[in-house]
């Protein structure tokens, strides 16, 4: 089977196909990784934030829409998606650690090197193996229908790492609404704190920290942790 990387938009099912949407995000992902690697200080942190806003909604849409479809249509779909879920889990854990380190600390750079390695491996696993298998199993109309569902979920998904939440239904489905609301509220508060001096910026920062603690508590509620294979967490 031919990798998505070497196929045209038409071969992938047209602009609305889930394969084209995935590949488009992957191109932007690679661009942002290279930009983060070349940046320092506040600019590095800004780019890292943009990378998170791409990575986590994208992965959430995969886990909610694409991987269940692959498990339905491919006999070995469970094992194939398990490998990707392991990569996603480690990426979530590493980004959580990165959030605790300053952008110019050596630990930040070491952690990001591993994140970049995993993200690039994830793209290759998807474009060279997983998605071509899906392409071979489904007609163009279904790839377009999956693309529409994937886009809806992607636009309304959590934007930050949540390593405790299950990578499969029902946990990730139950988590979607509360964590999306919290994450996107934090995004707005963090933007306000970065561009506002004085009391207002400080208050925004404090509210964001409070929401982060709330998200951390919610992640451990049992319904949000159910559904995934135990092996997903076996590497760390």
Mean pLDDT, range 201-223, rounded to an integer: 93
Domain that holds residue 215: 4-232
pLDDT confidence of residue 231: 87
| Structure tokens that stand for 34 in this block | 């290279």
Rounded to a whole number of angstroms, the distance between the first and last alpha carbons of the chain is: 32
Structural domains in the chain (count): 1
Question: Is 161 in contact with 97 (CB distance < 8 Å)?
Answer: no
Please give the average per-residue pLDDT across 185-198, as a whole number. 89
pLDDT at residue 220 above 90?
yes
* Mean pLDDT, range 87-95, rounded to an integer: 96
- pLDDT surpassing 60 at residue 182: yes
Over range 70-88, report the average pLDDT: 96
Burial of residue 141 (CB within 10 Å: 0-12, 13-18, 19+) is exposed
* pLDDT of 192 strictly over 60: yes
Q: Cis bond leading into 170, ω under 30°? A: yes
What pLDDT was estimated at residue 84? 95
Give me the percent of the chain exceeding a pLDDT of 90. Answer: 82
At residue 187, does pLDDT exceed 80?
yes
What are the pLDDT digits (tens) for 119-161? 999 999 999 999 999 999 999 999 999 999 999 999 999 999 9
Residue 195: per-residue pLDDT:
82
pLDDT for residue 235: 54
How do residues 14-73 score in pLDDT, each as one tens digit?
Answer: 999 999 999 999 999 999 999 999 998 889 989 999 999 999 999 999 999 999 999 999
Check pLDDT > 60 for residue 236: no
Distance between CA atoms of 1 and 134, rounded to whole angstroms? 11
Q: What is the pLDDT of residue 81?
A: 96
- Taking the CA atoms of 204, 98, 233 and 156 in sequence, report the sign of the dihedral they define: positive
């Amino acid at each position: 089977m031919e990798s998505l990387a070497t196929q045209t938009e038409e071969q992938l099912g047209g602009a609305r196909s889930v394969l084209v949407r995935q590949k488009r995000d992957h191109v932007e992902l690679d661009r942002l990784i290279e930009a983060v690697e070349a940046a320092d200080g506040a600019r590095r942190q800004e780019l890292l934030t943009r990378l998170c806003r791409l990575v986590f909604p994208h992965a959430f849409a995969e886990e909610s829409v694409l991987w269940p479809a692959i498990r339905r249509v491919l006999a070995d779909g469970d094992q194939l998606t398990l490998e990707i879920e392991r990569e996603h889990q480690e990426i979530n854990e590493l980004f959580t650690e990165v959030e605790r380190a300053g952008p110019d600390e050596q630990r930040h750079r070491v952690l990001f090197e591993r994140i970049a390695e995993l993200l690039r491996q994830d793209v290759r696993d998807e474009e060279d193996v997983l998605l071509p298998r899906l392409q071979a199993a489904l007609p163009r109309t279904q790839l377009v229908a999956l693309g529409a569902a994937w886009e809806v979920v992607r636009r309304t998904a959590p934007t930050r790492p949540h390593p405790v939440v299950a990578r499969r239904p029902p946990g990730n489905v139950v988590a979607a609404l509360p964590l999306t609301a919290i994450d996107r509220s934090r995004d707005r508060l963090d933007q306000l704190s970065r561009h506002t001096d004085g009391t207002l910026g400080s208050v925004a920062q404090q509210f964001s920290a409070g929401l982060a603690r709330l998200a951390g508590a919610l992640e451990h509620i049992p319904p949000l942790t159910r559904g995934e294979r135990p092996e997903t967490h076996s590497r760390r």
